[in-house]
Amino acid sequence: MIIGVPKEIKNNENRVALTPAGVTEFKKHGHTVYVQTSAGEGSGFADAEYEKAGATILPSIEAVYEIAEMIIKVKEPIESEYTLIKENQLLFTYFHFASSEPLTHAMISRKAICLAYETVEKADRSLPLLVPMSEVAGRMAIHEGAKYLEKPLKGRGILLGGVPGVRPANVLVLGGGVVGMQAARMAAGLGANVTIMDVSLPRLRYLNEIMPANVNTVYSNEYNIREHIKHASLIVGAVLIPGAKAPHLITRDMLKDMNPGTVLVDVAVDQGGCIETCKPTTHENPTYIIDDVVHYCVANMPGAVPYTSTLALTNATLPYALQLANKGWAKACRENAELKLGLNVIGDKVVYKGVADAWGLPLTDVETLLA
Ligand X SMILES: NC(=O)c1ccc[n+]([C@@H]2O[C@H](COP(=O)([O-])OP(=O)(O)OC[C@H]3O[C@@H](n4cnc5c(N)ncnc54)[C@H](O)[C@@H]3O)[C@@H](O)[C@H]2O)c1
The set of residues, in sequence order, having a beta carbon less than 8 Å from that of 371 and lying 6+ positions away, is none
Choosing from 47, 96, 105, 231, the catalytic residue is: 96
Q: Which of 159, 299, 358, 370 binds ligand X (CB under 6 A)?
A: 299
SS3 state of residue 15 = coil
Q: Which is nearer to ligand X, 4 or 273 (CB)?
A: 273
Site for ligand X contains 61 (CB under 6 A): no
How far is C-alpha 262 from the chain's CA centre? 26
267 is in an annotated binding site: yes
Site for ligand X contains 134 (CB under 6 A): yes
Q: Is 143 a catalytic residue?
A: no
Site for ligand X contains 269 (CB under 6 A): yes
Written as one letter, the residue type at 321 is: A
Rg (CA), the chain: 22
Least distance from ligand X to the Cβ atom of residue 231, Å: 18
**With contact defined as beta carbons under 8 Å apart, do 234 and 262 qualify?**
yes
Q: Which of 200, 224, 259, 336 binds ligand X (CB under 6 A)?
A: 200
Q: Which of 178, 188, 275, 345 binds ligand X (CB under 6 A)?
A: 178
H-state helical runs in 123-262: 131-148, 178-189, 201-210, 222-229
Q: Is 228 a catalytic residue?
A: no
Site for ligand X contains 220 (CB under 6 A): yes
Site for ligand X contains 8 (CB under 6 A): no
Written as one letter, the residue type at 230 is: K
Q: Which of 1, 74, 115, 174 binds ligand X (CB under 6 A)?
A: 174
Listed residue (366, 219, 264, 284) closest to 11, CA to CA: 284
Site for ligand X contains 69 (CB under 6 A): no
Q: Which of 68, 85, 129, 133 binds ligand X (CB under 6 A)?
A: 133
Least distance from ligand X to the Cβ atom of residue 306, Å: 13
Exposed e or buried b per residue across 18-53, where buried means at least 16 C-beta atoms within 10 angstroms of its C-beta: bbbebbebbeeeebbbbbbbebbebbebebebbeeb
Site for ligand X contains 272 (CB under 6 A): no
Q: Which of 1, 53, 70, 267 binds ligand X (CB under 6 A)?
A: 267
Taken in order 139, 145, 148, 149, the sign of the CA dihedral is: negative
Nearest residue to ligand X on Cβ basis? 177
Neighbouring CB atoms inside 10 A of 58's CB total 21
Integer Cα distance of 180 and 196 in angstroms: 7
Q: Which is nearer to ligand X, 203 or 334 (CB)?
A: 203
Q: Which of 159, 199, 330, 358 binds ligand X (CB under 6 A)?
A: 199
Site for ligand X contains 271 (CB under 6 A): yes
Site for ligand X contains 232 (CB under 6 A): no
Choosing from 31, 228, 266, 270, the catalytic residue is: 270
Q: How would you list the strands of the sheet with 293-296, edge to edge?
A: 215-219, 193-198, 170-174, 234-237, 263-266, 293-296, 287-290
Site for ligand X contains 141 (CB under 6 A): no
SS3 state of residue 139 = helix
* Segment interacting with ligand X (CB under 6 A) among 110-118, 163-171, 197-205, 322-330: 197-205
Q: Which is nearer to ligand X, 93 or 323 (CB)?
A: 93
301 is in an annotated binding site: yes
Neighbouring CB atoms inside 10 A of 314's CB total 21
Q: Which is nearer to ligand X, 31 or 228 (CB)?
A: 228
Number of helices and strands in the chain (H, E): 14, 15
Site for ligand X contains 358 (CB under 6 A): no
Q: Which of 149, 197, 215, 366 binds ligand X (CB under 6 A)?
A: 197
User: CB burial class (10 A; 0-12, 13-18, 19+) of residue 164?
Assistant: exposed
User: Binding site membership: which residues?
Assistant: 15, 75, 134, 198, 203, 220, 239-240, 267-270, 298-301
Residues that bind ligand X (CB under 6 A): 133-134, 137, 174-180, 197-200, 203, 220, 238-241, 247, 249, 267-271, 299-302
Give the catalytic positions in this structure. 96, 270
Annotated binding residues for substrate, as ranges? 15, 75
